[in-house]
Chains A and B, each alone.
Chain A
Amino acid sequence: DTEVTQTPKHLVMGMTNKKSLKCEQHMGHRAMYWYKQKAKKPPELMFVYSYEKLSINESVPSRFSPECPNSSLLNLHLHALQPEDSALYLCASSRGRAGYTSTDTQYFGPGTRLTVL
């Protein structure tokens, strides 16, 4: 079963709101990812967690705050976002048996379509 779930499917928020995106996988994967995808562009890596520890932070603004409470869950906390942050946010996971490696196959969730007003 190669399933990654994400909630909510759609989110509309104002620039002063605080919200969270959630991601869950039950494949026993130890690496989890957040990507941001703008329309007609490829996904851009934001964060990587390996064994629940932040492994890569691609210089993402602090208004995005990731959290990995356990090996199955990944959250992305949002605060004081800008309209240009509107995008599809994708979560992914990979085996990561020996820690994070980008050569493992990443399995993606359906994404959260975020609109910032």
Chain B
Amino acid sequence: AQKVTQAQTEISVVEKEDVTLDCVYETRDTTYYLFWYKQPPSGELVFLIRRNSFDEQNEISGRYSWNFQKSTSSFNFTITASQVVDSAVYFCALSEETNFGNEKLTFGTGTRLTIIP
């Protein structure tokens, strides 16, 4: 069965510091997809990134970057020069590609990030 572990329950950093959110996953499949979502206090889950298991290139989008390492089953998320608006709960999620038609998106338990002004 697939599983996503976000060991950091809560993180607090001072504004402008860099912060890395960890995500470790377990899956039996060779083809799978990883996601990161941001959930600000308003409640909406905001999609950040989708990555398939065959694309191990790191990705950078502005202040956000993602490090995908299949060897350690990790998909970590780094925010550089953090800002107060980055304060939110961040979820890592995993989906396996199967032919059964009933697969689900498996979420980690989330990491609550607080940026201190």
Contact = CB atoms under 8 A, between A and B. Distances in A.
Interface residues of A, number: 24
B114 interface: no
Contacts of B108: 42
B109 interface: yes
Interface residues of B, number: 25
A interface: dominant SS: loop
Contacts, number: 58
Interface string B93-117: 0011100011111011110000000
Given A100-B101, A103-B95, A103-B97, A88 B43 contact: yes
Interface of A: 2, 40-43, 45, 55-56, 88, 90, 92, 99-103, 105-111, 113
Interface of B: 32-33, 35, 37, 42-47, 50, 52, 91, 95-97, 101-105, 107-110
